[in-house]
Amino acid sequence: MLQHEYGVHPSEIHWRSGGQEQPGRQERTPLKSIPGVDLQPIGDNQTLVGMLRAGELDALFTARAPSSFLAGEPHIARLFADTRAAEMAYYKKTGLFPIMHLVGIRKTLAEQYPWLATSVYKAFCEAKAAAMTHLTDVNALAVTLPFLDAETRETMAVMGRDFWRYGVRENLGEIEALAGYAFEQGLLDRKVRTDELFAGSTLEMSKI
């Protein structure tokens, strides 16, 4: 996204990996070096948050907010001050809602039970439908946010009623974009096809 939306190529950044809050975190899977990209682990006694706090790093990409940000340290801030506006603008421009999670099934099981993948998909769709109903139930709010109903309806106005789309066809744009980015930036040796990634029975399913 940095490359496509802001013209910042991975080779223009010095990347450092390691534990966010605790030192000594190692990669869970081996990383293949990418030509032109400077990616190195930090020291065994260092943490990413500590290096950011000390000015040894300019920014962090993390799944969790760093403790220094949560603590309100004045020299730590988000890259985008108004993240909601930035995310809305990105969605309106591209129509892409980055994928949060995937469900994996062992290939041998999917081959042994051809109905398994579609049954799992349908079960998740039914669970999502129940959860979405709760979001608009003003009698008993799903979470303790006073403006939950207004926020939900505003989101629907921008992204449609099914803003958490499940399924291969429903997320085809996101899947193809992710595969393209991974190939462009050297994470994949070739651009993979969608039909290589998902059980065949799920490729043509419609919403239920």
Q: Total domain count for the chain?
A: 2
Confidence (pLDDT) at 127 = 95
Confidence (pLDDT) at 144 = 87
Which of the listed residues 79, 112, 134 is the one where a domain comes to its end? 79
Which of the listed residues 29, 51, 79 is the one where a domain comes to its end? 79
pLDDT band at residue 206, thresholds of 50, 70 and 90?
Answer: low
| DSSP codes of every residue in 120-182 | HHHHHHHHHHHHHHHHT-TTS-SSS-TTHHHHHHHHHHHH-S--S--STGGGHHHHHHHHHHH
Confidence (pLDDT) at 208 = 47
Confidence (pLDDT) at 69 = 94
Residue 13 lies in a domain: yes
Same domain, yes or no: 109 and 184: yes
How does pLDDT run across 90-141, given as a tens digit for each residue?
A: 999 999 999 888 899 999 999 999 999 999 999 999 999 999 988 888 888 8
How does pLDDT run across 43-80, given as a tens digit for each residue?
A: 999 999 999 999 999 999 998 999 999 999 999 999 99
**pLDDT for residue 207 is more than 60:** no
Same domain, yes or no: 158 and 124: yes
Same domain, yes or no: 113 and 165: yes
CB contact at 8 A, 172 and 195: no
| Distance, CA of 27 to CA of 90 (rounded, Å) | 30
Q: Which domain holds residue 197?
A: 96-202
Residue 181 lies in a domain: yes
Residue 85 lies in a domain: no
Same domain, yes or no: 75 and 101: no
Residue 89 lies in a domain: no
Same domain, yes or no: 104 and 147: yes
Confidence (pLDDT) at 201 = 86
Confidence (pLDDT) at 48 = 96
How does pLDDT run across 14-54, given as a tens digit for each residue?
A: 999 999 999 988 888 888 888 899 999 999 999 999 999 99
Conformational region of residue 161, where left means phi above 0, alpha means psi within -120 to 50, and beta covers everything else: alpha
Same domain, yes or no: 62 and 6: yes
Which of the listed residues 49, 79, 109 is the one where a domain comes to its end? 79
Same domain, yes or no: 111 and 153: yes
How does pLDDT run across 152-204, given as a tens digit for each residue?
A: 999 999 999 999 999 999 999 999 999 999 999 988 999 999 999 998 888 87
